[in-house]
Amino acid sequence: MVPIQYYLLLSASVFCIGLFGVLTRNNALLFLMSVELMLTGANINLVAFSAQTGTLTGQVFSLFVIALAAAEVAIGVGIVLALVRNFEGVDVTRATTMRW
Partner 1 sequence: MAAFDYAPAIAVLPLASFVIALVAGRYMPKGGAFAGILATGGSLVLSAWMAFAVAGGDTYNESLYTFVDAGEELSLHLGVLIDPLSAMMLVIVSLVAFLVHVFSLGYMNDEGETGLPRYYAGLGLFSASMLGFVLADNLFMAFMFFEMVGLCSWLLIGFWFRDAAPPSAAKKAFLVTRFGDYFFLVGVVAVFATFGTAAFAGAESFPTIAEEALAGGSEGAGGAAVTTFFGLDPGAWFAVIALLILGGVIGKSAQFPLHTWLPDAMEGPTPVSALIHAATMVAAGVYLVARIYGFYALLPTVLAVVAFVGGFTALFAATMALVKNEIKQVLAYSTISQYGYMMLALGAGGYVAATFHLMTHAFFKALLFLGAGAVIIAMHHGEDMWEMGGLRKKMPVTYWTFLAGSLALAGIFPFAGFWSKDEVLYEALVHGLNDPLLLGAYAMGLAAVFVTGFYTFRMVVLTFHGKPRSDVARDPHGVGWNVKFPLVVLGALAVVAGFLNMAPVAELTGLHVDYLHQWFVGPLEATSLETYEGLIEERAGYEAAELSPLLPAAVSLALALAGAGLAVVLYRGAEPTEHTDRLGSAKRVLASNYYQDEYQVWLAEGLTARVARAADTFDQGIIDGVVNGTGSVSLLSGSRVRRIQTGVVSNYAALLTLGLVALLVVLGVTGGWF
* Angle, CA of 74, 80 and 84, to the nearest 5°: 145
Strand partners, 91: 27
| CB of residue 83 to partner 1, shortest distance in Å | 11
| CB of residue 31 to partner 1, shortest distance in Å | 7
**Closest CB to partner 1 among residues 5, 93:** 93
| CB of residue 95 to partner 1, shortest distance in Å | 7
Which residues would be at the binding site for partner 1 (CB under 8 A)? Answer: 19, 22-26, 31, 92-93, 95-100
Residues 47 and 56: their CA atoms lie apart, in Å, by 9
Q: How many CB atoms lie within 10 A of CB 71?
A: 10
CB 90 within 8 A of CB 29: yes
